Structure 1
Amino acid sequence: MRRSLALAIVVAASVALGGCSTTTGGESGSGGGEVVVAGTYPIDSIDPHGPQGGGTGPQMAEQAIFSRLVRPKPDGTVDGDLATAWKPDATATQWTFTLRQGVKFNDGKPVTAKDIVDSFKRFIDLKGTNSANFPGYTMTATSETEVVLTASRPDAAIPRKLAVFFVLPSGVGANDTAFFEHPVGSGPFKLEKFSPNEIVFVPNANYYGGAPKVSKVTVRKMPELAARLTALRTGEVDVAWGIPDDQLPTLQSESNLTVQTVQSTAVFTMWFNSSTPSLKDAAVRRALWQAVDFQTIIKQLYPQTGTLSESVVSPQTLGYVPQQPVKYDPAAAKAALTAAGFDFSKKLRLQFANAEFRPFNQAVVSDLQKIGVQVDLLEKEQAVFTKDLLALNWDINFQQLSNPTYDAANTIGRLYPCAAKRNGYCNQQLDQILAQAGASADEQERVRLYGEASKIIWQDAVGMFPMAVKYAYAWNKRLSGFTPDPNGLPGFAGLQVGS
């Protein structure tokens, strides 16, 4: 069983990638050495503003090609990208960003305040999954060196939220497929090739931080675990992550590899569709959670990279507050379901994407069946999964939900209000708490409020939140400049390939 990141997302569908090649020939341009990344999941889109642009796979590609105002560091703090400084007004409804000067797109044209403002408008207008972080927000250019983001309400999380906002040149249309065949960006790389099975980046000589020192980075679609690990061991790729626990001892014994695990921002999240008649009752949802022995499942499948979750969000996330773990008690679960009038003859639909999560979900189904709950386990292609996720065409939805912003505003604040319509759950009290958390400029107060919100979500069993995820990375020691990332989004700009 593996750990992927993904997820964004999923979005979110989440997407973990792996690998870099041993090819050290091909000296060219800014450096030498070709790096091959073995991707677990497809990258169907590189439009950062579109509906599929928020997943972990697309974000990995987008951060290579495009710049952001700010970007998160692996420790969760915020670093400048196109912005060198930012500050809120007294109410945290207006944020002023001072722009870096002299930044150019890869075609040599300067990046302007207008490009940033127009990109934000496109981001909002296209209503991609991440745009929900900015309801009614606007951006204006107050000068050539400054833009101001105005929120519809006080929002202290804006800098972290902007981790998912990428800047394009002005004039890119809503469905400008031609642009994304040869995109113009100001990130460290340019796109050389984009096909269903492979995406290739080459250094951007105009990058303000200096062109990368590798000659090429290729992300190759390798969805099968065995193929990825074989490629890692044989040297076809030099880096992989999302490595299953049962494969770690073998990799740790390889003298040419470095193996490291890092606490991620991801939590295994299994929403219940509260709009489904059989799942409207919180007592039913809690009983289903109680019927699954997650601690044993984690111990068997994820002894090194999984721990029983104690919150809706990861310990890496601002807003993390531990909750009381749900005790496994199948007898009590069955009794509670019977008392609630649960229809044991009706099958529940549990959907997931990506084969790496199959054993975990099979174990969940097995435990539910032990108390008479019948479940259809539906493994779907990522695009179908995402479409059905948003359409609520499921009863239980599994996803590895990561948080690229490191802030609970992006997960609890975005996915659980009534208006989000993401899981059929609506609670006006929760909405009020989330509004207060989003408006507070006091980080300690925000943590307290998100803790209250987590308690409601946890006790009402809006979903099951079984596991906090660690990501296992392995890379060839010939590769330097590689930093494991808690979101499964390592950057490639600092890579160098030695002999």
Structure 2
Amino acid sequence: MRARRVTALGGAIALMVSLGACSENTGDDTGGVDTTKPRTGAIATDPKDSLGPAPEVPGAAKGGTFYILRENKISHMDPQRIYSFAGLMGSQLYARFLTTFKDDGKGNVTLVGDLAETPGTNVNNDCKVWEFKVKQGVKFEDGRPITSKEIAYGIARSFDPDLTGGPTYLQEWLVDSPQYDTKWDFKANKTSLPPGLTTPDERTLRFEFNKPRCDLPFAVSLPATAPLPADKDTGVNLDNQPFSSGPYKFTKHTPGVEIVLERNEHWDPATDAVRHQYPDKFVWSLGADQAAQTNRVLAGTGNDAAAVATGGVPSELIAKVTGDPKLKERMIVAATPNAYRLSINTARVTDLSVRQAINHAIDRTSITKNLGGPYGAVPMTTLLPPTTLGYKQFDAYPAGDSGNPEKAKELLAGKTQNLVLLTSDVTSSQERATQIKNALEKAGFTVTIKTIPEDGYLDTVKKKDNPYDIWVDSWAADWPSGASILPVLFDGRGIKAEGNSNTSQLNNEALNAEFDRILALDPAKQAEEWSKIDERLMKETAPAVPLYVEVVSLAHGEKAGGVFIGSIFGWPSFVDAYVKQ
């Protein structure tokens, strides 16, 4: 993963980003959300921007229990293993990172220091040496101070091959190799640190790289930099009981059923520029599907009055919610940067013409209609979402509104092609899989659907030797950068046994070289190049079928306040959440 969409200016970094609009419902009846509206952000250069407390939320009150409804278990709760949207946004309640984003919920973001006093110091102005100074007064849930040692240990344990699932930017950059777990053995070096990572003193964390890593301030905003004392490391079992550095701590966890977070009395709001601690508790209630979640919060009986339904309003209930002004007031509609695609396993589906036929066959309109139309998804035909800098609209395989099965048959030229389609057990995912199967079979494919539990889905599709041909993936840039999409998803040099973001397993030497060429350009010149390589990827390799950009429509109870859709990952943020009294 090699994103570099920033410009070094002395010790500061300037950033211009483009994000989808994320806001509360404005009341229009079309449901149309501007998915291309540009947004700007910056990296804070004034240390005061990283100080707490976070500005008070108008109308917010302390007390009560806030409920979060979700259908399935979250893949991972261990910060070093988190890489799902639910995990990334949920972890903000109990974990802190070196940096984080201030987000107004409308696409305007500022990167600030979280555990660090600032978003980092570019020591030699060459992006090869970075230092972060840890804030005073930050503590763990047991009251002991957080120092550079525990942050460094958290990063070190992300090298453990048993702890797969999380992002791998820091690991790859520190050892200068995609095969990071073979370059530095965490299990054999638990009392030391990876090469390039040092702690000169208890408040200083130092990174030294062989190559410029100008995106480091962004990369350390991910949960891999969450601190952990070595004596609290329970390995794979940390998924069940993470050790808190944030405003809330785990007090109960029944996997797949319920998670209870209560206030961490050692969290100091004066050190936190982003989070609040309004509710007494957060309770994740797992098991209800989209329709059940939505109906519960709209009825608002008992605990559900202070709940948010994270599954989104299903298409069959859109008319009910939007047709009632009082219910529509409790609906949040937001375009997100999340782009969905049908990934094609190029290691199994090796014939380019077959991959092209799959592209022609897919019926995007039926899929987006089933997701709620403009309240759920907007069709796309490019790998880059429209909000990406350098975006250019094109359609390499015109399929019309309902697919082009005849063109697909022409490409298959009478060949019999069997495909194994993987899906999770989430209701909406199974419905989408059925639509994909129907479209492909109209074009002459034979499709077998295989279903696995949602909490194992991500880990499965990231395995190199998984036995599946196609599945639906989604991706939002890990920070506001177009360069953190295509190289991450399609550079084949980093493919390993498991934990791959390049789930299509594409390894094209010419395109790999193009990634290197573009990333070496001045950032201001990269944008147009990414649109060119987007088109090349689709025409020359067809590693996936672009499907749609997600629009989130959530319902919440009348006592649930402060929730907005995060601008970076397009999932509900709870840092401002409160229970209306």
Match of 1:169 among 224, 228, 252: 228
- For 2:335, the equivalent position in structure 1 comes to 263
Alignment deviations for residues 256-303 of structure 1 (CA, whole Å, 9 cap, x no partner): 642121111211111111111xx2122221121112231354245431
Q: Contact 1:172/1:179 (CA < 8 Å) preserved in 2?
A: no
The TM-score, its normalising length taken from structure 1, stands at: 0.84
Write the distance in 2 (CA, Å) between the matches of 1:372 and 1:273: 19
- For 1:119, the equivalent position in structure 2 comes to 154
- For 1:451, the equivalent position in structure 2 comes to 531
- For 2:100, the equivalent position in structure 1 comes to 71
CA separation of 1:174 and 1:62: change in aligned 2, threshold 3 A: same
Q: Contact 1:154/1:438 (CA < 8 Å) preserved in 2?
A: no
* One-letter identity of the residue aligned with 2:574: F
The yes-or-no answer on 1:480 pairing with 2:515 is no
RMSD (Å), alpha carbons: 2.7
Per-residue deviation, 1:431: 1.3
Structure 2, unaligned runs of 5 or more:
1-60, 175-195, 271-275, 496-502
- For 1:14, the equivalent position in structure 2 comes to none
Q: Contact 2:75/2:84 (CA < 8 Å) preserved in 1?
A: no
| Corresponding residue SS for 2:574 | coil
- For 1:392, the equivalent position in structure 2 comes to 466
Match of 1:140 among 198, 217, 222: 198
Q: Which portions of structure 1, spanning 4 or more consecutive aligned residues, are displaced by more than 4 angstroms?
A: 172-175, 177-182, 316-321, 437-440
The yes-or-no answer on 1:81 pairing with 2:111 is no
Per-residue deviation, 1:478: 3.0
Q: Contact 2:308/2:556 (CA < 8 Å) preserved in 1?
A: yes
Per-residue deviation, 1:415: 2.6
- For 2:166, the equivalent position in structure 1 comes to 130
Q: Contact 2:418/2:446 (CA < 8 Å) preserved in 1?
A: yes
Identity of aligned residues (%): 20
CA separation of 1:314 and 1:99: change in aligned 2, threshold 3 A: farther
Structure 1 segment 54-453 matched on structure 2, within 5 A? 54-72=83-101, 73=103, 74=105, 75=107, 76-85=109-118, 86-88=120-122, 89-126=124-161, 128-134=164-170, 135-137=172-174, 138-164=196-222, 165-172=224-231, 175-176=234-235, 182-196=241-255, 197-209=257-269, 212-235=277-300, 236-237=303-304, 238-241=307-310, 242-252=312-322, 253=324, 255=326, 257-276=329-348, 279-299=349-369, 301-304=371-374, 305-317=376-388, 320-324=391-395, 326-328=397-399, 329-338=404-413, 343-344=415-416, 346-353=417-424, 354-389=426-461, 390=463, 391-421=465-495, 422-439=503-520, 442-453=522-533
| Corresponding residue SS for 1:288 | helix
CA separation of 1:287 and 1:44: change in aligned 2, threshold 3 A: closer
* One-letter identity of the residue aligned with 1:397: W
The yes-or-no answer on 1:471 pairing with 2:546 is no
Write the distance in 2 (CA, Å) between the matches of 1:270 and 1:185: 37
Per-residue deviation, 1:317: 4.6
Q: Contact 2:244/2:250 (CA < 8 Å) preserved in 1?
A: no
The TM-score, its normalising length taken from structure 2, stands at: 0.73
Per-residue deviation, 1:222: 2.5
Q: Contact 1:155/1:439 (CA < 8 Å) preserved in 2?
A: no
Alignment deviations for residues 23-52 of structure 1 (CA, whole Å, 9 cap, x no partner): xxxxxxx931111110132025321223xx
Write the distance in 2 (CA, Å) between the matches of 1:420 and 1:448: 25
CA separation of 1:443 and 1:129: change in aligned 2, threshold 3 A: farther
- For 2:39, the equivalent position in structure 1 comes to none
CA separation of 1:226 and 1:380: change in aligned 2, threshold 3 A: same
Per-residue deviation, 1:122: 1.2
Which sits farther off after the overlay, 38-47 or 212-221?
38-47
Q: Contact 1:482/1:494 (CA < 8 Å) preserved in 2?
A: yes
CA separation of 1:443 and 1:42: change in aligned 2, threshold 3 A: same
Q: Contact 1:136/1:151 (CA < 8 Å) preserved in 2?
A: yes
Write the distance in 1 (CA, Å) between the matches of 2:290 and 2:298: 12
